Structure 1
Amino acid sequence: MSIDVLNETDYALDEMELVACARYVMEQMRVHPQADLCLKLVDEAAMEVLHVQWMDLPGPTDVMSFPMDELRPGRDGQEPEEGVLGDIVLCPSVAARQAREAGHATEEELLLLTTHGILHLLGYDHAEPEEEREMFELQRQLLLTFLATRGRAGA
C-alpha cells in the first residue's frame, strides 16, 4: 500500500499518524494492499479554487476526495481490485476551526477528515439521510477503533 503525503502548507503535521490512519482504514475496508493513495494538504486559497472548480461552491472546505480507479471495498470471498484509490485534499486551517468548535485537537480532526475522504473514494456518500447515517456511523467506528489501537481513544 503506497500512501504519499504532500504538505503544501506551514502546518506542522505528524505525517506518520495520518499515514497510519489511512492505512488502517484502507485495510479495514479491504482495499487491495497494492492500492495507491495521495494525501495533499493545502492552504485556504488553493482549497477554495478546488471547491469552486469541482463543486461550484464558494469558499474553502475541509476535505475533498478525487477518486481515480473507482475502487470499492473488498467483499467476502472476492479479491479486491488493484489500482489507484485516488487523492484526498485536506485544508488544515479549516480543520483547525472545526476542531476548536468540536472541542478536540486539529490532529484528530485531520484523522476524521482522512477517514471521511477515504470513504468517499470508496463510493460512500452522504447526500441522502440514510446514506449519511451509514457513512457517518462507519466513519465513527473506523476512527474510534483506529484511535483505540493507538492508545488514544477518547483523547
Structure 2
Amino acid sequence: MDITAKQLVNAVVYVENLYEGSLIDCSLSSVKSIPWSSWFQMWIQFLDSQTVMTKECEVGLRLTDDRQIQILNHQYRSLDQPTDVLAFAATEVDITIPQDFEEPLYLGDIVISLDTAARQAQAQNHSLVMELAWLASHGLLHLLGWDHPDAHSLKQMLNRQSDLIQLVEIQPSY
C-alpha cells in the first residue's frame, strides 16, 4: 500500500465528547486516549493521493450516546432508532476547489454513538478503540463523497476502510 501524498495536508479535528451513557471507566479512558488528530491526519494524507484537497481541512467529531444519535437519525434520516455513525458533509462531492484557495476546507461532522460502538465491538470480538477507528474512517469516507448504495460500492468502501485502519496500527486490546 502506497501512502505517499502529493502534498502535505494539515487536518484539524474538533472532538466533542457529549457522552452521557454508562460505559465502564476503562472503556471511557481508552476513548479519551485515542489520538484522533493523528488518525485523521494519516487518513486524509493517504486519501489525498486520490482526491483533490486544499492544504488544510477541518473535521468535527462528536462522541455521544444512543439517545442523542437517535434524535439526529430521526431528524435527518427519518429513522427513529439509534445508529452507530452519522456523517454530515459540508460540501458537495462535485465541488471544484480553486488552486489558490487558502482557507481550511471544512469537510463536515461525524457523529458516533459510543453505546452502539461498544456493543458492536463486543459482537465483533475486538476493542472499542478498533470499532471507533472503523466508524470514524467510515464517516470520513462519507464526508469525502463515498457512499454504498449497492453491494459493489459497499465492498469498495469497506476495503478502503481496511486500508485506513491499517495505517493507524491499532493494538488489539480489549
TM-score tier (shorter): 0.7 to 0.9
Q: Runs of 5+ in structure 1 lacking a partner?
A: 73-77
Give the superposition deviation at 1:80: 10
What is the CA–CA distance in structure 2 between the aligned matches of 1:18 and 1:106, rounded to whole Å?
Answer: 14
Q: Is the 8 A contact 1:25 1:142 kept in 2?
A: yes
Give the superposition deviation at 1:79: 5.6
Q: Is the 8 A contact 2:12 2:37 kept in 1?
A: no
What is the CA–CA distance in structure 1 between the aligned matches of 2:125 and 2:151, rounded to whole Å?
Answer: 25
- SS of the aligned residue for 1:35 comes to strand
Q: Tell me which structure has the larger Cα radius of gyration.
A: 2
Give the superposition deviation at 1:69: 2.1
State whether structure 2 residue 28 is matched by structure 1 residue 6.
Answer: no
- SS of the aligned residue for 1:130 comes to helix
Deviations 1:74-128 (A, max 9, x none): xxxx969751100000111100000000000111100110000000001111111
What is the CA–CA distance in structure 2 between the aligned matches of 1:97 and 1:32, rounded to whole Å?
Answer: 37
Q: Runs of 5+ in structure 2 lacking a partner?
A: 1-10, 21-27
State whether structure 2 residue 64 is matched by structure 1 residue 42.
Answer: yes
**Identity of counterpart residues, as a percentage?**
27
Counterpart for residue 151 of structure 2: 129
Amino acid at match of 2:12: S
Counterpart for residue 107 of structure 1: 129
Give the count of matched residue pairs: 146
Counterpart for residue 52 of structure 1: 74
Amino acid at match of 2:129: E
Q: Is the 8 A contact 2:73 2:83 kept in 1?
A: yes
Matches within 5 A, 1:1-150: 1-10=11-20, 11-12=28-29, 13-14=31-32, 16-30=34-48, 31-70=53-92, 83-147=105-169
Which TM-score applies when normalising by structure 2?
Answer: 0.75
- SS of the aligned residue for 2:92 comes to coil
4+ runs of 1 displaced by more than 6 Å? none
Amino acid at match of 2:37: V
Higher alpha-carbon deviation: 17-26 or 82-91: 17-26
Q: Is the 8 A contact 1:112 1:143 kept in 2?
A: yes
Give the superposition deviation at 1:6: 0.3
Give the superposition deviation at 1:137: 0.6
Which TM-score applies when normalising by structure 1?
Answer: 0.84
